[in-house]
Amino acid sequence: MTVADFLMLDLPPLLAAILAGGTCGLLGSFLVLRRESLVGDALSHAVLPGIVLGFAVTGARAGLPMLAGAMLAGLLAVALIGLVQRATRLDAGATIGAVFTTFFACGLVLLEVTGARSVDLDLDCVLFGQLETLVWTEGRSAAALLDPAALASLPRQLSLLSGVALAVSLAVAAFWRPLKLICFDPAYAAALGLPGRSLELGLALMVAAAAVAAFEAVGSILVVAMLVCPAAALRLMTDRYTTQVLGGAALGAGLGAVGYLLAGPLPAAMGLTLSLNAAGVIGTLGGLLVATAALMRRAPRVRANAVA
Amino acid sequence: MSAPEPLSVTHLTVAYGERPAVWDVTWSAPPGLTAIVGPNGAGKSTLLKATLGLVPALSGTVRFFGRPLEEVRDRVGYLPQRASVDWDFPASALDVVCMARYPRMRWWGPVPRRHREAAREALVQVGMADFADRQIGKLSGGQQQRVFLARALAQDADLVLMDEPFAAVDAATEAAIVTVLRNLAARGRHVVAVHHDLGTVPEYFSHVLLLNARVFAAGPVKDVFTPENIGATYGARLALLEEARVGASAAGGG
């Protein structure tokens, strides 16, 4: 594998996997701490109709209309979940399940009827993401990394992903303490007069945006692996909030990178003809991560209980 | 005219679905220590939460020190039920107490030293100074309750609303809470606490509200905390209990 090969074929998907994994890993901790992991799953599915409509409007797989459509669909889903819950008194799990599968199915129908279905957006990329399609045609040598003209030809998805990652990071930093409080004790946050409801909505919007980002990398189905697995694994490893949240981002980024590299480039570099689907590898690694954390935690816990 | 009551509610009604939990309650908490007492499901916690706007009220008005909550929020402290949060949360006892001061600091960056000191001071008051850095999940139930109490104290509020502060606590914690209550009263602060142990009402509180969806009696403990009022509030269940007790003592005596 040459430098040019790496820059043209592997750098864009690697960056995309890292950005998507990092953004999802950062937000995942809030979902896991609020015991709302299912909401992450629901939102990542519910944004599909918005993504498809945004795509149908612009005909391009990147860009703000797709992001806007996804966030709108996410908001609608959250509102509908609340509405159904109040109207029917079903438990949260049942309502969430009913709403997000409906949204996802609508997304699949829209995919067929709007003509959005094309080489750029089809069932495959809904299922598996499209990391492999990200190519940097101008990345012919290391010098291109410093050449603004060449950098401008990086896939547009990367600028969308970077924008989402930046916005989410800034929001998490700016609302650090209120976010912590609505994760631990939302009623107390409300009693203190903090804008808990708006923050919860903001969190849902950020998850919807991150779901679009991760949609690029791993597809709609496996977004939840990126959202939940790094955070869940860390939940078993640390008692410190800062480590949990920032570590979730780092672990998510690492999961994306390692997952992508294991899927194709590494086996290729070792001369193997084996080539795996990146989304599948990332999802599998995520599961292994949680399992390892659980096993590592188990041993000392049992001893501590025995002493007590 | 005397100073307005720390808390007063007028015609407050709260319902979960079709079932009213708090029915047309008009009541005010006098200065000092007040208990809200009633059977399970009587709407005691709901009343407390409704005054803070944590559950929506169908009708009625709530005033703290004669004003709407938004205008005097920094004068009103809150101690939620211990079971309402996940104690596995990655936070130390000190972290949790510091939350009381969040409205007074920036939303990012490290907690300013003076707020951290105030939080430590609150932990000292409840006898938990040695556990400041302990993860909250590694504390006993009583210790967790004291951390919540310290957090309410760190708000430095004039009125503290407490939801079941004595629920499932050990003797040391109960004693610590009582000391804190008396200190608050001595400093001219006010407490309204949902309380489940009828036996300790006269010892711990000066005023009482007997509630079972609606108000059955309210006033100084020595005047209204009578067997008749308690019986009326608790309905047939306590009457049966009372008969059983009488029966048991008669059997024991015979």
Please compute the mean of the pLDDT values over residues B197-210 and round it to a whole number. Answer: 94
3-state SS class at A133: helix
- Confidence class of residue B118 from pLDDT cuts 50, 70 and 90? very high
- Confidence class of residue B237 from pLDDT cuts 50, 70 and 90? low
Interface of A with B in 107-166 (CB under 8 A): none
**A95 against B16, higher pLDDT:** A95
Q: Which residue, among B86, B106, B148, would best test binding to A if mutated, counting the most A CBs under 10 Å from its CB?
A: B86
- pLDDT number for residue B194: 96
* ipTM of the complex in this document: 0.88
- pLDDT number for residue B180: 94
- pLDDT number for residue A263: 84
- pLDDT number for residue A299: 56
Please compute the mean of the pLDDT values over residues B110-130 and round it to a whole number. Answer: 94
CB contact under 8 A, B99 and A89: no
CB contact under 8 A, B80 and A187: yes
- pLDDT number for residue A305: 43
- By C-alpha distance, the chain A residue nearest B53 is A191
- By C-alpha distance, the chain A residue nearest B70 is A193
CB contact under 8 A, B107 and A187: no
Residues of B in contact with A187 (CB under 8 A): 49, 54, 80, 84
CB contact under 8 A, B90 and A173: no
- Confidence class of residue B133 from pLDDT cuts 50, 70 and 90? very high
Residues of A in contact with B78 (CB under 8 A): 188, 191-192
Question: In whole angstroms, what is the distance from residue B64 CA to residue A275 CA?
Answer: 68
Alpha helices by DSSP H, listed for B82-140, are 93-98, 113-125
- By C-alpha distance, the chain B residue nearest A245 is B90
Q: What angle do CA A262, A266, A272 make, to 5 degrees?
A: 110
Residues of B in contact with A191 (CB under 8 A): 52, 54, 76, 78, 80
Q: Which two tokens stand for residue A269?
A: 């570099």
Confidence check: pLDDT of B20 > 90: no
Q: Long-range contacts made by residues B81-85, C-beta under 8 angstroms, separation at least 24?
A: B81/B45, B81/B163, B81/B164, B81/B167, B82/B141, B82/B144, B82/B145, B82/B148, B82/B164, B82/B167, B82/B168, B83/B167, B84/A185, B84/A187, B84/B163, B85/A184, B85/A185
Amino acid at A287: G
- pLDDT number for residue A156: 78
Q: Does A241 lie at the interface with B, CB-CB under 8 angstroms?
A: yes
Which of A175, A188, A238 is opposite residue B99, by nearest beta carbon?
A: A188
Q: Which two tokens stand for residue A187?
A: 């009623």
The top-scoring range by mean pLDDT among B15-24, B184-193, B238-247 is B184-193
Q: Does A170 lie at the interface with B, CB-CB under 8 angstroms?
A: no
Size of interface A-B (CB pairs under 8 A): 75
CB contact under 8 A, B105 and A238: no
- pLDDT number for residue A308: 35
CA distance A241 to chain B (A): 5
Interface of A with B in 77-106 (CB under 8 A): 89
Question: In whole angstroms, what is the distance from residue B78 CA to residue A6 CA?
Answer: 58
3-state SS class at B193: strand
- pLDDT number for residue A304: 43
- pLDDT number for residue A64: 78
Q: What is the pLDDT of residues B42-70, one digit of tens each?
A: 999 999 999 999 999 999 999 999 999 99
- Confidence class of residue B253 from pLDDT cuts 50, 70 and 90? very low
- pLDDT number for residue B254: 36
- pLDDT number for residue B104: 92
Q: Does A173 lie at the interface with B, CB-CB under 8 angstroms?
A: yes
- Confidence class of residue B114 from pLDDT cuts 50, 70 and 90? very high
Which of B78, B95, B137 is opposite residue A191, by nearest beta carbon?
A: B78
CB contact under 8 A, A193 and B70: yes
Q: Which two tokens stand for residue B36?
A: 């809200």
Confidence check: pLDDT of B165 > 60: yes
Q: Which residue, among B18, B52, B55, B72, would best test binding to A if mutated, counting the most A CBs under 10 Å from its CB?
A: B52
- pLDDT number for residue B105: 93
Which of B53, B70, B89 is opposite residue A184, by nearest beta carbon?
A: B89
- pLDDT number for residue B2: 66
Confidence check: pLDDT of B252 > 60: no
- pLDDT number for residue A58: 75
Q: Which two tokens stand for residue B63?
A: 């005033």
Residues of A in contact with B99 (CB under 8 A): 180-181, 184-185, 188, 192
Per the prediction, chain B carries an average pLDDT of 90
Q: How far is CA B231 from CA A193, A202, B210, in A?
A: 38, 49, 10
Question: In whole angstroms, what is the distance from residue B252 CA to residue B249 CA?
Answer: 5
Domains of chain A: 3-295 (1.10.3470.10)
**A105 against B249, higher pLDDT:** A105
Confidence check: pLDDT of B249 > 80: no
pTM value is 0.86
Mean pLDDT per block of 10 residues along chain A (308 residues) reads 77 90 94 89 88 79 77 88 82 87 90 68 71 79 79 81 93 95 94 90 90 77 86 92 95 92 79 75 88 77 42
Confidence check: pLDDT of B152 > 80: yes
